[in-house]
Amino acid sequence: MYIKKEIREFIEKMPRETKLSKEWVNFIKQIDKSHNLLIEHGKEEYECTNCGKYSYGKLLNSRNYRYHDICRFCGKKYEIRRSNLKNYFFLYNLAMVDNMNNKLIIRYYEVYRRYNYKIRRFVNSIVEFARYVPEFDVVLLNDRCPRGQNIYHDEKIKKWRVFGGKYYGNNSYKSIYLKDIDEKKKGTSYQYIPLGDVINHLENIKFDSLYRVFRLAKYNSFELLIKAGLYNLALECPERFNENGSFEKRFGVCKHFYKFMQKHDISYNELFVLRLTQKPNIEIIRTLLRISYSNLDDLKKASSYINLVDLEKYSKKQTRLSIQNYLDYIDNLERMGVPLTKKKLLPENFTIAHNESVEKVKIVENELLNQKIIQRYKQLEKNKYKNDKFIIRPAKSLNDMKDEAKQQHNCVYTNYSEKYANGKTDIYFLRKLKKPKESLVTVEVLDGKIRQKYQKRNTATNRNQNSFLKLWEKDILNAA
């Protein structure tokens, strides 16, 4: 793997290992208060591995917890284990921010907290196994974590190297030490970014949050958004707000909405709706997002027909109105050529109006289709042909096709009406001369050739029918 000189040099110069500072050890001690047990020595006698004291009698909450209880002295809730316990441990990762040669680095530690049954206390082994250098966007691993998977506590650090694979070990951590972060970021490229604020803000999303923060911090707008208290925008999509210039140019809304945006720590979707509604009302915005399943394109489209604030108000009086349904309804009105008056746009009962529009549009469209088929019939009428036994003619109308499909049990109506109407293919019906109303063979012709010919239920045609069709194809369709 090729590694840039700059990175190589940095690795060479950075300290291989540092002593755990007193503050750092104290930080871990605080976290470890929750990593303890209650050791049950006999009936109703419990020893707390945290404070070392014994509690006797029924514990405070023994009715509430079956396997956990609260130490009477330190008040912590722990799992109960029998005194013959031999092996037990806790394992978790911690992170700290450090500064090495004016580069910000995240150092990852694993705490292996093992139960020592001889003294009935927990003993920690704390080892550093990875470093992340956001400025280079590289993960470094040492001998304790050679493949980015298992961590070996008894290995010495001989070497740090760049890890190129997909790395899971440090993607999550239990806690990050932030106490001196302002001091640590001095002189680094993250000096002016309020990293502590951001990481605290993300406290509930431990997974991958550091990577995210540093990746996003590369955008100029990140710092600005965080300082403006717009955390959601900063963490969602700072790249969308990189535009320099006025507030309006950057956010697409007037500056007097800023207080509102900050108060609700507005998300990108919410801002998008605010642009459309121009109304700083978070309930309205959230309702609109809900009824559109957060489909911003659909909301934008709807806003070109109707004021979204009116639509939101209207939606409250309707049952199950979604923006998608609403757009279908508008589409139906347009296809029928109905003028979009206020009354049409906001009908008293949306469900009824919507269903009616579906029915009506079907009728209108079928009539259009029918007109086209009638035209096609007129064009193809010249190909009518008969002998003393059979007659063949083009399909005359939509109903004609429906009737053929019904008699023949085939799909000529459902699959071929539109193709036929639009001139993509030609449909003919072959019938007995004496029984012209009774279906016999359905025929498709494409480019002057018979493409399909079937009797009832798609069964093959017989010899007589075939010779008639062959003649017709040759003498009439390709008469030229």
From the list 47-55, 161-169, 359-367, 453-461, the region that binds Zn ion by CB under 5 A is 47-55
Binding status of residue 80 toward Zn ion by CB under 5 A: no
Binding status of residue 39 toward Zn ion by CB under 5 A: no
Which residue, 38 or 210, is less far from Zn ion as judged by CB?
A: 38
Binding status of residue 71 toward Zn ion by CB under 5 A: yes
Binding status of residue 374 toward Zn ion by CB under 5 A: no
Residue listed under structure tokens 């190129």: 164
Tell me whether strands 68-70 and 77-82 are parallel, antiparallel or unpaired: antiparallel
- Tell the smallest beta-carbon distance from residue 40 to Zn ion (Å): 14
CA distance linking residue 110 with residue 151, whole number of Å: 8
CA distance linking residue 364 with residue 339, whole number of Å: 15
- Tell the smallest beta-carbon distance from residue 55 to Zn ion (Å): 8
CA distance linking residue 146 with residue 34, whole number of Å: 30
Pick from 7, 14, 20, 51: which binds Zn ion (CB under 5 A)? 51
- Tell the smallest beta-carbon distance from residue 32 to Zn ion (Å): 13
Residue 376 is encoded by which pair of tokens?
């096609």
Which residue, 74 or 346, is less far from Zn ion as judged by CB?
A: 74
Handedness of CA 64, 66, 68, 70 (dihedral sign): positive
Complete DSSP assignment for 256-292: GGHHHHHHTT--HHHHHHHHHH----HHHHHHHHHHT
Which residue, 48 or 443, is less far from Zn ion as judged by CB?
A: 48
CA distance linking residue 399 with residue 257, whole number of Å: 59
DSSP-based three-state secondary structure for 460: coil
Binding status of residue 48 toward Zn ion by CB under 5 A: yes
Residues shown for the chain: 480
Site for Zn ion, residues 96 to 115, rule: CB under 5 A = none
- Tell the smallest beta-carbon distance from residue 117 to Zn ion (Å): 18
Which residue, 71 or 311, is less far from Zn ion as judged by CB?
A: 71
Pick from 24, 50, 370, 429: which binds Zn ion (CB under 5 A)? 50
HSE value, Cβ hemisphere, 13 Å, CA-based, for 374: 7
Complete DSSP assignment for 230-265: -HHHHHH-GGGG---S-HHHHHSS-GGGHHHHHHTT
Interface size with Zn ion, residues (CB under 5 A) = 6
Binding status of residue 73 toward Zn ion by CB under 5 A: yes
Pick from 7, 20, 60, 74: which binds Zn ion (CB under 5 A)? 74
- Single-letter residue type at 418: E
CA distance linking residue 343 with residue 3, whole number of Å: 68
From the list 66-74, 142-150, 404-412, 448-456, the region that binds Zn ion by CB under 5 A is 66-74
- Tell the smallest beta-carbon distance from residue 124 to Zn ion (Å): 18
Instruction: List, in sequence order, every beta strand (DSSP E) within 179-271.
Output: none
Binding status of residue 56 toward Zn ion by CB under 5 A: no
Where on the chain is the footprint of Zn ion (CB under 5 A)? Answer: 48, 50-51, 71, 73-74
